[in-house]
């Protein structure tokens, strides 16, 4: 799919939505479809330019996520599966933190596939870090002296 990505949205959309073409081969894409895809496709491109494509696992932390946008797109569409389509040898983990995420998914893991899942934490990013990571003192004790 890299070839289609280099041709811009038109080439990519022709590949991604070819099953949606009418009898004349025309594909009509609604603006909200491109908006949703822009989340994952931005990450596809970021991985490429940062040369991260050979990593076995990549974790993204989405700070300030909301139920209406990031959570819905991750859980109710296949847009984030584009990451696995472009990088089939990589596992992707998403951590969504934000006070506007849904209560129903708070502290839940949503598995899209074997290689793609998201964890949702309904609170501020600061609270997520405080609740899920060790203190500096705990890290120093576990890691030993730094010198």
Copy the structure tokens of residue 138. 């705990």
First-to-final CA distance of the chain: 47
Of 50, 125, 63, which is closest to residue 90 (Cα–Cα)?
A: 50
State pTM to two decimals.
Answer: 0.75
Confidence of residue 62 (pLDDT cuts 50, 70, 90): very high
- Cβ neighbors of 47 (< 8 A, separation 6 or more) are 53, 58, 83, 86, 87
pLDDT tens across 64-91, in order? 999 999 999 999 988 899 899 999 999 9
What does the pLDDT read at residue 111? 96
């Amino acid at each position: 799919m890299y070839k289609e990505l280099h041709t811009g949205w038109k080439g990519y959309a022709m590949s991604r939505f070819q099953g949606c073409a009418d009898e004349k081969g025309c594909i009509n894409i609604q603006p909200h479809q491109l908006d949703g895809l822009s989340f994952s496709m931005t990450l596809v491109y970021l991985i490429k330019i940062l040369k991260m494509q050979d990593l076995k696992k990549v974790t993204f932390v989405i700070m300030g996520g909301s139920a209406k946008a990031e959570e819905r797109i991750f859980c109710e569409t296949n847009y984030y599966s584009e990451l696995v389509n472009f990088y089939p040898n990589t596992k992707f983990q998403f951590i969504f933190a934000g006070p506007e995420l849904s209560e129903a998914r708070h502290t839940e893991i949503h598995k899209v596939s074997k290689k793609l899942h998201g964890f949702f934490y309904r609170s501020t990013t600061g609270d997520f870090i405080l609740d899920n990571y060790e203190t500096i003192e705990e890290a120093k004790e576990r890691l030993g002296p730094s010198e």
